[in-house]
Amino acid sequence: MDRSQKALLSPHEEVTLRHVALGSATSESISKRDLQRLRHLMLVVDVRGRIELTPLGRRRHSALPRMAEGPDVARSDAIDQLEHCIRK
């Protein structure tokens, strides 16, 4: 288990782990190779046809660096008005 916590993940494997954590990953939508490696490291399992994080996978996911926030974009009045209309 210690090996799974310390094993380096490729950027693609990290993205796959993030997708699984968000619940947006299906076996058809992600790389078979990434999925195989994450299974081997005991970070994910198949549960009733869904891919889910194991407790170790949740710890590993929470240890991943957070995604950088984008630059601050000034909001225009048009965007504010559009959001106001949509909310009505």
Model pLDDT for residues 2-47, shown as the tens digit of each residue: 666 678 899 999 999 999 998 877 767 788 999 999 999 999 998 8
Q: What CA–CA distance (Å, rounded) separates 1 from 40?
A: 11
Tokens of 4: 């799974």
- Residue 65's pLDDT band, with cuts at 50, 70 and 90, is confident
Give kind and range of the element (H or E) at residue 12.
Answer: helix 11-22
Higher pLDDT, 21 or 69: 21
pLDDT of the residue at 6: 75
Above 60 in pLDDT, residue 1? Answer: no
